């Protein structure tokens, strides 16, 4: 019987069209699923959409439609994009599916009955416009750490999950199961920043909106969207508290949850604790991939730098998009995407290295042998090296993919293609074609090339399935073995065709800007931005000051040496700054807007003569300048600005 392999993506919020970052995740998971199928596993690949929550309720209200109508529209868009990029999922779950909502309600009830969830009161500082509670240590001078507006003391009835009850068991599980979370660096952050300092009970209901699964028997509360969303991984398999379903029995525990780095905490702490409370086995592995950024910037609608898979596929083809995203994302770090970088990778790897190789080889086989595949003769010259190169690729792909190192696996295949191109230059088939009595040797050379390409195409299937299929069609074979020598002689190769036409960067950008000129969407977007701007309420200008008053704050250029999220406050980042003449620790309430790694090494501007103050139990010695309330942007100094220089 085939060994099972169950893998999942995170389920994206159904609040808008998924961008290339969200889509990368489904492409990545798809590549792993296809690879596992190729390896003979019985694969179950789950994806879906996260359809509840205040954001969706608000967006629907703004459009004057029901939340269900809203999510139906977005869900159709997600499915369209997933199928466009070739996601070979076995099931698509929506958190608004009836069976899921029932199971979530039952799970909540069971945990309530067990005493793991209890009803309590949430007391804290409430920010009315943000509808958020904050603790004493989170508020800054009586103001909301997010928007800076005054907060008020408030109490709210809510349900809490006794997280701490399971913390030791989870820690033990993590210690006994190395590789539970990959990459390891992400696990360390969870253990050191959250598990070891002690878990607080988690508030698992909301009463400020209604678009969610109601708490059974207390319907003015809805179940926290993360409890609802995380449960999808078991409800999709037919799990409910008093029935387990065939798929659940067969596929649970999950072999691999593929998620982004920002939601590692939910998957490595809350989700396993929920499972422990439900007395269910824990998933085997959680892989937190990095983020795909636009250049070095986070993709965001407000910055206008969001890219979408369908638009990219129009320009570079589906496999162009799959290849770029899979190869550009390293295992443990973020990746970057720009038009320039896709064009460069597309031309170098797909058009030149792979495309040319296939085209030249098929063309030579046509020219010299009327397309007929020749017998392979004795190995000589560089033949063994070429064979060993593709055999190495077979081995490397296996070992990289077993550790989910997808970009490394792709690089290993392309290394073999590079070797094949070199082989053509070394063996110069065109000279042999003119030489007397060299036909057999020429036939062997072409066989070796065709066979290397064939094995390469088989290896490529999980990553760029359409291309893999086209190459095998060009070679006129459906042989899928990765053993060298599988290609049958005497068959015919097909008519040579161009797999990836080179892209001229200049022409590309000229065409793109031409298209953008009369692109209705852009016109509408510009209108929207204009409307947004005219509706924006600007903060009134402060009173005029004397020049000497302006000189009072001592503003300096400082470099970020270290930056980390404060374990005690989700809002604060803790910085160690180099001011040139001294080092400073500064705390700043911008954790919602920046990840530490986005700031380390950057030069910022700080108020260096602010009196020290205590925040969340730590001293903050200065202030980092940033603009905005709802969309905060740190003011960075130019790379060449000297550390410690004063700003005036």
Q: Residue numbers of the site for ligand MSP (CB under 6 A)?
A: 10-13, 21-22, 24-25, 50, 229-230, 232, 259-260, 262-263, 291-292, 299
SS3 37: helix
Cβ(57)–Cβ(67) below 8 Å: yes
Closer to ligand MSP at the Cβ: 36 or 100? 100
Shortest distance in whole angstroms from residue 9 CB to ligand MSP: 7
Residue indicated by tokens 């995740």 = 25
Shortest distance in whole angstroms from residue 240 CB to ligand MSP: 18
Tokens of 97: 């599916």
Closer to ligand MSP at the Cβ: 11 or 174? 11
Closer to ligand MSP at the Cβ: 12 or 443? 12
Closer to ligand MSP at the Cβ: 263 or 318? 263
Shortest distance in whole angstroms from residue 10 CB to ligand MSP: 3
**How many beta carbons lie within 10 A of that of residue 302, not counting itself?**
12
Rounded CA-CA distance 367/313 in Å is 34
Closer to ligand MSP at the Cβ: 132 or 231? 231
Shortest distance in whole angstroms from residue 348 CB to ligand MSP: 23
Residue 456: closest CA among 412, 488, 493, 423 = 412
Tokens of 406: 């997808």
Closer to ligand MSP at the Cβ: 212 or 355? 212
Cβ(212)–Cβ(198) below 8 Å: no
Shortest distance in whole angstroms from residue 104 CB to ligand MSP: 12
Tell me the longest C-alpha to C-alpha distance in the chain. 95
Cβ(137)–Cβ(616) below 8 Å: yes
Tokens of 494: 């097909």
Torsion angles phi and psi, residue 646, rounded to 5 = -85, 150
- 3-state helix/strand/coil string of 108-123: HHHHHHHCCEEEEEEE
Residue indicated by tokens 């949850």 = 257
Closer to ligand MSP at the Cβ: 72 or 156? 72
Closer to ligand MSP at the Cβ: 50 or 461? 50
Shortest distance in whole angstroms from residue 229 CB to ligand MSP: 4
Angstrom distances, CA of residue 324 to CA of 27, 294, 444, 487, 630: 11, 13, 34, 29, 33
Residue indicated by tokens 């797909």 = 350
Angstrom distances, CA of residue 135 to CA of 1, 132, 238, 265, 574: 54, 10, 39, 20, 18
Shortest distance in whole angstroms from residue 122 CB to ligand MSP: 23
Shortest distance in whole angstroms from residue 328 CB to ligand MSP: 11
Q: Which residue is nearest to ligand MSP (CB)?
A: 260
Tokens of 149: 């507006």
Closer to ligand MSP at the Cβ: 230 or 563? 230
DSSP state of 416: H
Rounded CA-CA distance 129/391 in Å is 62
Tokens of 576: 């160690």
Shortest distance in whole angstroms from residue 89 CB to ligand MSP: 15
Shortest distance in whole angstroms from residue 390 CB to ligand MSP: 32
Q: Is 468 exposed, middle or buried (0-12, 13-18, 19+ CB in 10 A)?
A: buried
Element at 5 (helix H, strand E): strand 4-9
Closer to ligand MSP at the Cβ: 24 or 166? 24
Cβ(53)–Cβ(96) below 8 Å: no
User: DSSP readout, 116-170?
Assistant: SEEEEEEEEEEETTTTEEE-TTTSBTTB-TTT--B-EEEEEEEEEE-THHHHHHH
Shortest distance in whole angstroms from residue 570 CB to ligand MSP: 15
Closer to ligand MSP at the Cβ: 182 or 383? 182
**How many beta carbons lie within 10 A of that of residue 217, not counting itself?**
10
Rounded CA-CA distance 449/458 in Å is 14
Cβ(451)–Cβ(408) below 8 Å: no
Closer to ligand MSP at the Cβ: 180 or 369? 180
Closer to ligand MSP at the Cβ: 174 or 229? 229
SS3 501: coil
Q: What is the CA radius of gyration of the chain?
A: 29
Closer to ligand MSP at the Cβ: 258 or 458? 258
Closer to ligand MSP at the Cβ: 52 or 454? 52
Rounded CA-CA distance 232/249 in Å is 15
Shortest distance in whole angstroms from residue 68 CB to ligand MSP: 17
Shortest distance in whole angstroms from residue 22 CB to ligand MSP: 4
Cβ(357)–Cβ(506) below 8 Å: no
Shortest distance in whole angstroms from residue 60 CB to ligand MSP: 17
Shortest distance in whole angstroms from residue 280 CB to ligand MSP: 16
Rounded CA-CA distance 455/470 in Å is 13
């Amino acid at each position: 019987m085939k060994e099972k392999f169950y893998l999942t993506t995170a389920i994206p919020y159904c609040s808008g069209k998924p961008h290339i970052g969200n889509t990368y995740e489904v492409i990545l998971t798809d590549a792993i699923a296809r690879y596992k199928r190729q390896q003979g596993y019985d694969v179950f690949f789950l994806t879906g959409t996260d359809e509840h929550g205040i954001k969706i309720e608000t967006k629907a209200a703004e459009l004057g439609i029901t939340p269900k109508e809203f999510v139906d529209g977005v869900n159709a868009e997600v499915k369209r994009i997933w199928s466009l990029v070739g996601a070979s999922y076995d099931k698509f779950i929506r958190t608004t599916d009836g069976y899921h909502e029932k199971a979530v309600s039952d799970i909540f009830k069971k945990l309530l009955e067990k005493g793991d969830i209890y009803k309590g009161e949430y007391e804290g500082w409430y920010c009315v416009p943000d509808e958020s509670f904050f603790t004493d240590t989170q508020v800054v001078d009586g103001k909301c750490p997010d928007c800076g507006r005054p907060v008020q003391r408030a109490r709210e009835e809510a349900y809490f999950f006794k997280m701490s009850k399971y913390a030791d068991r989870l820690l033990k599980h993590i210690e006994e199961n190395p590789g539970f979370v990959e990459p390891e660096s992400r696990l360390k952050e969870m253990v050191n920043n959250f598990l070891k300092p002690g878990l607080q009970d988690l508030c698992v209901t909301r009463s400020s909106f209604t678009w969610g699964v109601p708490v059974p028997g207390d319907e003015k509360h809805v179940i926290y969207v993360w409890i609802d969303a995380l449960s999808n991984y078991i409800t999709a398999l037919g799990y409910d508290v008093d029935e387990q379903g065939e798929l659940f029995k067969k596929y649970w525990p999950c072999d691999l949850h593929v998620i982004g780095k920002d939601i590692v905490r939910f998957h490595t702490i809350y989700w396993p604790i929920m499972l422990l409370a439900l007395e269910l086995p824990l998933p085997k592995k959680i892989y937190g991939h990095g983020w795909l950024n636009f250049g070095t910037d986070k993709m965001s609608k407000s910055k206008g730098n969001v890219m979408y898979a369908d638009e990219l596929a129009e320009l570079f083809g589906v496999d162009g998009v799959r290849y770029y995203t899979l190869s550009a994302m390293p295992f443990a770090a973020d990746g970057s995407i720009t038009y320039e970088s896709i064009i460069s990778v597309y031309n170098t790897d797909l058009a030149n290295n792979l495309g040319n190789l296939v085209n030249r080889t098929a063309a030579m086989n046509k020219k010299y042998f009327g397309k007929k595949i020749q017998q392979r003769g004795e190995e000589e010259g560089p033949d063994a090296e070429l064979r060993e190169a593709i055999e190495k690729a077979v081995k490397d792909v296996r070992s990289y993919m077993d550790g989910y190192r997808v970009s490394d696996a792709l690089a290993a295949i392309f290394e073999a293609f590079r070797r094949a191109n070199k082989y053509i230059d070394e063996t110069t088939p065109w000279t042999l074609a003119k030489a007397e009595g060299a036909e057999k040797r020429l036939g062997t050379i072409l066989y070796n090339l065709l066979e290397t390409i064939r094995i390469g195409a088989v290896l490529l299937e999980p990553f760029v399935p359409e291309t893999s299929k086209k190459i095998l069609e060009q070679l006129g074979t459906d042989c899928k073995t990765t053993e060298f020598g599988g290609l049958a002689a005497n068959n015919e190769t097909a008519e040579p065709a161009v797999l990836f036409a080179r892209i001229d960067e200049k022409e590309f950008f000229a065409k793109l800007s031409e298209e953008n000129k009369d692109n209705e969407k852009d016109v509408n977007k510009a209108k929207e931005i204009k409307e947004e701007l005219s509706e924006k309420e600007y903060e009134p200008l402060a009173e005029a000051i004397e020049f000497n008053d302006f000189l009072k704050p001592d503003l300096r250029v400082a470099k970020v040496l270290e930056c980390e999220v404060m374990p005690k406050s989700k809002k604060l980042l803790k910085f160690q700054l180099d001011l040139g003449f001294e080092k400073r620790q500064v705390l700043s309430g911008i954790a919602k807007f920046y990840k530490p790694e986005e700031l380390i090494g950057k030069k910022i501007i700080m108020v260096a003569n602010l009196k020290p103050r205590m925040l969340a139990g730590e001293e903050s010695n200065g202030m980092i300048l940033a603009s905005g309330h709802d969309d905060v942007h740190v003011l960075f100094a130019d790379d060449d600005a000297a550390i410690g220089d004063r700003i005036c």
